[in-house]
Amino acid sequence: MSCAICEERKEKRFCPAVHGKICPQCCGEQREVTLDCPSECPYLQQTREHATTHSHNERTGERDREALFPEIEIPEVEIPEQFLYEREELILGLSFALAKSARAQRSLADRSLTDRDLIAAVSSLAKSYQTLVNSNLIYVPPTANVAHQAIARDIAREVETMVREFREEEQRHIGHTRLRDSDVLKALVFLLRMGLGRTSGRPKSRAFVDFLFAQFPEKHSAIAGPEEAGSRIVIP
Report the percent of the chain where pLDDT is more than 70. Answer: 77
pLDDT tens digits, residue range 48-104?
887 766 554 445 455 566 667 777 777 789 999 999 999 999 999 999 999 998 888
User: Residue 95: CB partners within 8 Å, gap ≥ 6?
Assistant: 191, 212, 215, 216, 232, 233
Q: What is the pLDDT of residues 101-156, one digit of tens each?
A: 888 877 665 457 899 999 989 998 999 899 888 886 665 555 556 566 778 888 88
28 against 55, higher pLDDT: 28
What does the alpha-carbon distance between residue 57 and residue 53 come to, in Å, rounded to a whole number? 11
| Residue 11 buriedness (CB in 10 A; 0-12 / 13-18 / 19+) | buried
Q: CB–CB of 96/217 below 8 Å? A: no
**Angle formed by the axes of helices 88-108 and 115-135, to 10°?**
130
pTM of the model: 0.82
